[in-house]
Amino acid sequence: MKIFFIRHGQTTGDLEDRYGGDYDDQLSEDGRKQAEILFSELKNKGIKAIISSPLIRALETAKIISNLGCPIVIEPGFKERNQYGILTGKIKSEAKNQFPDLVEK
């Protein structure tokens, strides 16, 4: 059995320069294209199931890949952790003004 670990593509948060973590954003247009390319690369790999984080960006990627005809299993333990605390999801330039000491750390 082979296991492929796949990370989602570019997100709207990437484009907006936000702190990531468990901030629940969507794939950008480029992120969806990246998932479509991945789908093409996985076509002949015999994928039997997809295990996905419950976050939107991961599920969007999983749904595109599931066009291979395999089920998606949502695993809450695959969710990214909140490594940025109160900065999570904030635009970095705005966070620098609101929380300069935290951003510096």
State the CB neighbour count (10 A cutoff) for residue 63.
Answer: 13
Marked catalytic residue, from 29, 36, 75, 80: 80
Residue 52 is given by DSSP the state E
Q: Is residue 80 annotated as part of the catalytic site, yes or no? A: yes
Round to whole Å and give the CA distance between 23 and 58: 12
Active site residue 60: no
Q: Which of 8, 16, 60, 75 is catalytic?
A: 8
Find out whether 56 and 26 touch, Cβ atoms under 8 Å: yes
Residues recognised as catalytic: 8, 80
